[in-house]
């Protein structure tokens, strides 16, 4: 069992959620993709293979509950919604490098907000997202180029 899966089970318990076999399966799928985002539609397909009678609403509701208690983070690209385990439950404010080749996500803690807020005197910034995209070191070592 991965550390993320163990932590997720503890977070569920501490937030008084029952650990159903469906929730455990959902967390297991996320654990199998722990360093990458997975499209919600793919997650839905994988869950419905295991539980054909499980409704889409139940899957999406559980994902929303997982977001509410800080287990997963979400990104939206074009018309796709993707989720993954929260990189760091203690420091939810963080940013990512995402490999364009393999999809691996790496966390970095530097936040560029001060740089931008210094350039926008008098403005109130109410939120931000910052991600870098490129080719990860593993893919570069395999000869992949941008």
Render pLDDT for 56-106 as a digit per residue (tens, 0 to 9).
999 999 999 999 988 888 888 788 888 888 765 555 667 778 888 888 888
- pTM more than 0.75: no
Render pLDDT for 110-126 as a digit per residue (tens, 0 to 9).
777 777 788 888 888 88
User: Domain range for residue 67?
Assistant: 3-85
**Does residue 31 sit within a domain?**
yes
- Residue 90 pLDDT: 55
**Do 78 and 50 belong to one domain?**
yes
Angle (CA) 22 90 100, round 5°: 70
**Does residue 115 sit within a domain?**
yes
**Does residue 90 sit within a domain?**
no
111 has binding-site annotation: no
**Do 102 and 41 belong to one domain?**
no
87 has binding-site annotation: no
Domains contained in the chain, number: 2
Render pLDDT for 47-57 as a digit per residue (tens, 0 to 9).
999 999 999 99
Render pLDDT for 14-57 as a digit per residue (tens, 0 to 9).
999 999 999 999 999 998 988 888 999 999 999 999 999 999 99
**Do 60 and 126 belong to one domain?**
no
Residues 105 and 82: their CA atoms lie apart, in Å, by 12
Q: Does position 1 have pLDDT exceeding 80, yes or no? A: no
């Amino acid at each position: 069992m991965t550390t993320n899966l163990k932590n997720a089970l503890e977070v569920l318990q501490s937030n008084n959620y029952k650990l159903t076999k469906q929730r455990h399966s959902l967390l297991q799928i996320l654990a199998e993709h722990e360093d990458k985002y997975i499209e919600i539609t793919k997650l839905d397909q994988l869950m419905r293979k295991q539980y054909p009678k499980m409704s889409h609403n139940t899957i999406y509701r559980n994902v929303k509950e997982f977001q509410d208690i800080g287990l997963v983070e979400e990104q939206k690209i074009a018309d796709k919604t993707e989720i993954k385990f929260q990189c760091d439950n203690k420091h939810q404010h963080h940013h990512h490098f995402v490999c364009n080749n393999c999809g691996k996500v790496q966390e970095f803690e530097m936040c560029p907000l001060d740089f931008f807020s210094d350039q926008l005197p008098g403005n109130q910034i109410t939120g931000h997202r910052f991600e870098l995209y490129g080719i990860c070191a593993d893919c570069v070592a395999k000869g992949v180029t941008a």
